[in-house]
């Protein structure tokens, strides 16, 4: 029986910022990605070019659709943070100690390597491909690094771990830091605004502008969970849902735990 393959929609291909780039060579796209850090269109163009190939490789290995989507996002997450190392040579490409005949072969090799990793169960995967396409996910994660430590902590704990501001305040008091609920709410609002602000302008235009003709952003400010729906259950909450005191973790450990979850 022949397995029928399906592919995710990639509407980015039709965007006026992306269409002209689809005729560029791999080398041109990668080199511009490396040199123009304030533009995300080059990575999006590579995603449009090789997304169907990566997805088909993953589907051939009999994973569930949920796991395929999860792996698909992880592949592009890994590629995003490796493209700075890509060098084009007369023999093909070199990425650190890796060598391949072409960028296409390197991407396939990376995909094959990831397939061998142990996957979380379907019930543990919360990533939704349609809600957060891999390029948006990657640039959103990169923009988090620009937030102040307090804004980042409040944003992560409330939007990803689903903590209340009261619990965040109690947690910080355990760490010897005292903030009012008003200050924490201000940090949350600032974080939600700035995380979008720190995205490259073309990424905002491709993914967050509701009307391409108007060029205006959507009137509704998206939350982190809407933009980055890799949410998890509240850290430290027991299975029966009863309340607990804040866990005895440092801020660095909490953020490290969040980053571990994002990386799978």
pLDDT tens for each residue of the chain, 264 residues long = 445 556 678 999 999 999 999 999 999 999 999 999 999 999 999 999 999 999 999 888 767 888 888 899 999 999 999 999 999 999 999 999 999 999 999 999 999 988 887 777 787 777 778 778 999 989 988 888 888 889 988 988 887 777 899 999 999 998 889 999 999 999 999 988 888 888 999 999 999 875 444 444 443 444 455 555 443 333 333 223 333 333 333 445 555 544 554 444
Q: Which CATH architecture has domain 11-121?
A: Orthogonal Bundle (1.10)
- If DSSP states are collapsed to H, E and C, what string results for the chain? CCCCCCCCCCHHHHCCCCHHHHHCCHHHHHHHHHHCCCCCHHHHHHHHHHHHHHHHHHHCCCCCHHHHHHHHHHHHHHHHCCHHHEEEECCEEEECCEEECCHHHHHHHHHHHHHCCCCCCHHHCCCCCCCCCHHHHHHHHHHHCCCCHHHHHHHHHHHHCCCCHHHHHHHHHHCCCCCCHHHHHHHHHHHHHHHHHCCCHHHHHHHHEEECCCCEECCCCCCHHHHCCCCCCCCCCCCCCCCCCCCCCCHHHHHHHHHHHHCC
Q: Where are the domains of the chain?
A: 11-121, 137-262
């Amino acid at each position: 029986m022949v397995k029928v393959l399906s592919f995710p929609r990639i509407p980015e291909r039709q965007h006026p910022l992306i269409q002209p780039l689809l005729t560029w060579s791999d080398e041109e796209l990668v080199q511009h990605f490396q040199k123009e850090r304030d533009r995300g269109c080059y990575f999006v163009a590579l995603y449009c070019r090789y997304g169907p190939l990566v997805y088909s490789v993953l589907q051939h290995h009999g994973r569930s659709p949920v796991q395929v989507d999860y792996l698909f996002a992880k592949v592009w997450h890994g590629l995003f943070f490796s493209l700075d190392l890509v060098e084009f040579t007369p023999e093909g490409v070199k990425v650190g100690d890796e060598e391949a005949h072409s960028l296409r072969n390197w991407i396939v090799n990376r995909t094959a390597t990831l397939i061998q990793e142990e996957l979380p169960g379907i019930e543990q995967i919360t990533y939704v491909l349609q809600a957060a396409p891999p390029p948006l996910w990657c640039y959103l994660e990169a923009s988090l690094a620009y937030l102040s430590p307090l804004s980042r902590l409040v944003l992560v704990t409330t939007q990803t771990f689903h903590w209340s501001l009261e619990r965040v305040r109690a947690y910080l008091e355990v760490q010897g830091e005292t903030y009012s609920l008003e200050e924490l709410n201000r940090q949350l609002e600032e974080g939600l605004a700035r995380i979008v602000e720190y995205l490259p302008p073309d990424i905002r235009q491709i993914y967050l502008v509701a009307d391409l003709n108007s060029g205006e952003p959507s009137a509704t400010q998206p939350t982190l969970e809407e933009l980055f729906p890799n949410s998890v259950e509240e850290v430290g909450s027991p299975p029966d849902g009863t309340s607990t005191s804040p866990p005895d973790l440092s801020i660095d450990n909490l953020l490290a735990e969040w980053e571990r979850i994002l990386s799978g």
